[in-house]
Amino acid sequence: MAEPSTPQTDEDTLARREAQKQWEANPCGASTVRGVEPESLEWFREARRVRYNEYAPWLRATTGIEHVRGEDVLEIGVGLGSDHFTLASGGNRMTALDLSREHLRLTQRHLSLEGFSTTAVHGDMERMPFADASFVWSIRLVSSTTRTTWKKPSRRSGGCCGPAAERSSACITVTACSSGFGP
Protein backbone atom coordinates (compact mmCIF):
# COMPACT_ATOMS: atom_id res chain seq x y z
CA MET A 1 0.00 0.00 0.00
CA ALA A 2 1.31 3.44 -0.89
CA GLU A 3 1.98 5.97 1.83
CA PRO A 4 0.15 9.33 1.90
CA SER A 5 1.56 11.74 -0.66
CA THR A 6 1.78 14.64 1.80
CA PRO A 7 2.49 14.78 5.52
CA GLN A 8 -0.61 15.25 7.67
CA THR A 9 -0.82 18.35 9.85
CA ASP A 10 -3.03 19.21 12.81
CA GLU A 11 -4.93 21.50 10.44
CA ASP A 12 -5.54 18.56 8.05
CA THR A 13 -6.81 16.43 10.92
CA LEU A 14 -9.13 19.20 12.13
CA ALA A 15 -10.47 19.75 8.60
CA ARG A 16 -11.21 16.03 8.22
CA ARG A 17 -13.01 15.94 11.57
CA GLU A 18 -15.08 18.97 10.61
CA ALA A 19 -15.96 17.41 7.24
CA GLN A 20 -16.97 14.18 8.96
CA LYS A 21 -19.08 16.07 11.47
CA GLN A 22 -20.81 18.01 8.68
CA TRP A 23 -21.59 15.01 6.47
CA GLU A 24 -22.63 12.73 9.34
CA ALA A 25 -25.22 15.31 10.48
CA ASN A 26 -26.25 16.54 7.00
CA PRO A 27 -25.55 14.00 4.26
CA CYS A 28 -24.64 15.61 0.96
CA GLY A 29 -27.79 16.06 -1.13
CA ALA A 30 -30.31 14.89 1.47
CA SER A 31 -31.79 18.37 1.93
CA THR A 32 -32.74 18.56 -1.77
CA VAL A 33 -35.35 15.80 -1.46
CA ARG A 34 -38.71 16.79 -0.02
CA GLY A 35 -42.12 15.18 0.27
CA VAL A 36 -40.84 11.61 0.01
CA GLU A 37 -40.16 9.06 2.75
CA PRO A 38 -36.43 9.39 3.62
CA GLU A 39 -34.26 6.50 2.49
CA SER A 40 -37.02 4.93 0.40
CA LEU A 41 -36.44 3.91 -3.21
CA GLU A 42 -38.46 6.95 -4.30
CA TRP A 43 -36.27 9.22 -2.12
CA PHE A 44 -33.05 8.05 -3.77
CA ARG A 45 -34.61 8.30 -7.24
CA GLU A 46 -35.73 11.85 -6.47
CA ALA A 47 -32.21 12.68 -5.28
CA ARG A 48 -30.88 11.47 -8.65
CA ARG A 49 -33.53 13.44 -10.53
CA VAL A 50 -32.61 16.64 -8.67
CA ARG A 51 -28.88 16.01 -9.12
CA TYR A 52 -29.01 15.32 -12.84
CA ASN A 53 -31.90 17.60 -13.90
CA GLU A 54 -31.63 20.63 -11.60
CA TYR A 55 -28.34 20.80 -9.70
CA ALA A 56 -25.92 19.60 -12.38
CA PRO A 57 -27.67 18.78 -15.67
CA TRP A 58 -24.27 18.90 -17.41
CA LEU A 59 -22.68 16.27 -15.16
CA ARG A 60 -23.34 12.99 -16.97
CA ALA A 61 -22.57 14.38 -20.41
CA THR A 62 -19.41 16.12 -19.23
CA THR A 63 -17.94 13.21 -17.30
CA GLY A 64 -19.16 10.36 -19.48
CA ILE A 65 -19.84 8.23 -16.39
CA GLU A 66 -22.74 6.50 -18.15
CA HIS A 67 -20.27 5.07 -20.67
CA VAL A 68 -17.97 3.36 -18.15
CA ARG A 69 -18.82 -0.34 -18.47
CA GLY A 70 -17.64 -3.51 -16.75
CA GLU A 71 -14.75 -1.92 -14.85
CA ASP A 72 -13.40 -1.85 -11.30
CA VAL A 73 -14.42 1.63 -10.15
CA LEU A 74 -13.49 3.56 -7.03
CA GLU A 75 -15.67 6.56 -6.20
CA ILE A 76 -14.20 8.94 -3.65
CA GLY A 77 -16.82 10.85 -1.66
CA VAL A 78 -20.12 9.16 -2.48
CA GLY A 79 -22.80 11.30 -0.81
CA LEU A 80 -26.18 9.63 -1.32
CA GLY A 81 -24.76 7.40 -4.05
CA SER A 82 -26.34 8.99 -7.14
CA ASP A 83 -23.19 8.76 -9.27
CA HIS A 84 -22.36 5.42 -7.66
CA PHE A 85 -25.73 4.09 -8.86
CA THR A 86 -25.14 5.46 -12.37
CA LEU A 87 -21.76 3.70 -12.51
CA ALA A 88 -23.11 0.46 -10.97
CA SER A 89 -25.86 0.45 -13.62
CA GLY A 90 -23.11 0.07 -16.22
CA GLY A 91 -22.13 -3.30 -14.80
CA ASN A 92 -19.13 -1.87 -12.98
CA ARG A 93 -17.70 -3.41 -9.83
CA MET A 94 -18.01 -0.59 -7.32
CA THR A 95 -16.00 0.52 -4.30
CA ALA A 96 -17.04 3.55 -2.24
CA LEU A 97 -14.48 5.50 -0.20
CA ASP A 98 -15.76 8.24 2.11
CA LEU A 99 -14.86 10.03 5.33
CA SER A 100 -18.53 9.81 6.32
CA ARG A 101 -19.92 6.52 7.58
CA GLU A 102 -23.39 7.96 6.95
CA HIS A 103 -22.60 8.52 3.26
CA LEU A 104 -21.38 4.94 3.03
CA ARG A 105 -24.50 3.60 4.77
CA LEU A 106 -26.82 5.63 2.53
CA THR A 107 -24.96 4.62 -0.63
CA GLN A 108 -25.15 0.95 0.31
CA ARG A 109 -28.88 1.29 1.01
CA HIS A 110 -29.42 3.16 -2.27
CA LEU A 111 -27.66 0.50 -4.31
CA SER A 112 -29.33 -2.34 -2.42
CA LEU A 113 -32.81 -0.93 -3.11
CA GLU A 114 -31.91 -0.84 -6.83
CA GLY A 115 -30.47 -4.37 -6.83
CA PHE A 116 -26.77 -3.45 -6.82
CA SER A 117 -23.97 -3.58 -4.30
CA THR A 118 -20.76 -1.81 -3.43
CA THR A 119 -17.79 -2.37 -1.21
CA ALA A 120 -17.91 0.46 1.33
CA VAL A 121 -14.62 1.66 2.80
CA HIS A 122 -14.49 4.27 5.54
CA GLY A 123 -11.34 6.26 4.92
CA ASP A 124 -9.44 9.12 3.43
CA MET A 125 -8.28 9.49 -0.17
CA GLU A 126 -4.82 10.48 1.06
CA ARG A 127 -4.49 7.26 3.03
CA MET A 128 -6.31 4.75 0.87
CA PRO A 129 -6.16 1.11 1.92
CA PHE A 130 -5.82 -0.19 -1.64
CA ALA A 131 -2.89 -1.57 -3.57
CA ASP A 132 -1.66 0.44 -6.54
CA ALA A 133 -3.51 -0.33 -9.80
CA SER A 134 -6.49 -1.80 -7.89
CA PHE A 135 -9.01 0.06 -10.06
CA VAL A 136 -9.40 0.80 -13.74
CA TRP A 137 -11.41 3.97 -13.04
CA SER A 138 -11.60 6.31 -10.09
CA ILE A 139 -14.01 9.20 -9.84
CA ARG A 140 -14.01 12.18 -7.53
CA LEU A 141 -16.68 14.84 -7.89
CA VAL A 142 -15.96 17.92 -5.80
CA SER A 143 -18.23 20.92 -5.28
CA SER A 144 -16.65 24.35 -5.04
CA THR A 145 -17.73 27.96 -5.32
CA THR A 146 -14.67 29.09 -7.24
CA ARG A 147 -14.04 27.26 -10.50
CA THR A 148 -15.00 24.53 -12.92
CA THR A 149 -12.45 22.09 -14.29
CA TRP A 150 -12.66 18.67 -15.84
CA LYS A 151 -10.03 16.13 -16.78
CA LYS A 152 -10.56 12.69 -18.19
CA PRO A 153 -7.25 11.23 -19.34
CA SER A 154 -6.99 8.27 -21.62
CA ARG A 155 -6.31 4.95 -19.96
CA ARG A 156 -2.68 5.29 -20.96
CA SER A 157 -2.13 8.64 -19.28
CA GLY A 158 -2.12 7.37 -15.71
CA GLY A 159 -4.95 9.31 -14.08
CA CYS A 160 -5.43 12.67 -12.43
CA CYS A 161 -6.80 12.18 -8.91
CA GLY A 162 -3.60 12.62 -6.95
CA PRO A 163 -3.29 9.57 -4.70
CA ALA A 164 -6.17 7.90 -6.55
CA ALA A 165 -4.11 7.94 -9.75
CA GLU A 166 -1.76 5.41 -8.21
CA ARG A 167 -4.66 3.02 -7.82
CA SER A 168 -6.30 3.39 -11.22
CA SER A 169 -5.34 3.82 -14.84
CA ALA A 170 -7.94 6.51 -15.56
CA CYS A 171 -9.72 9.09 -13.50
CA ILE A 172 -12.49 11.64 -13.71
CA THR A 173 -12.16 14.75 -11.55
CA VAL A 174 -14.88 17.37 -11.63
CA THR A 175 -14.90 20.59 -9.64
CA ALA A 176 -18.39 22.00 -9.97
CA CYS A 177 -19.33 25.64 -9.54
CA SER A 178 -22.10 25.88 -7.04
CA SER A 179 -23.38 27.96 -4.17
CA GLY A 180 -23.46 24.80 -2.08
CA PHE A 181 -23.22 21.06 -2.22
CA GLY A 182 -25.68 19.05 -4.28
CA PRO A 183 -26.84 15.47 -4.11
Domain boundaries, the chain: 19-177
pLDDT category at 31 given cuts 50, 70, 90 is: very high
Alpha-carbon span 87 to 48, nearest angstrom: 13
- The model's pLDDT over 85-109, given as tens digits with 9 standing for 90+, comes to 999 999 999 999 999 999 999 999 9
Mention every residue, 6+ apart, whose C-beta is less than 8 A from residue 42.
36
Instruction: Give the chain's length.
Output: 183
Q: Which residue has the higher pLDDT, 145 or 45?
A: 45
CATH number corresponding to 19-177: 3.40.50
Residues 134, 167 contacting (CB under 8 angstroms): yes
> Residue 177 has what pLDDT?
27
The pTM (predicted TM-score) of the whole model is 0.74
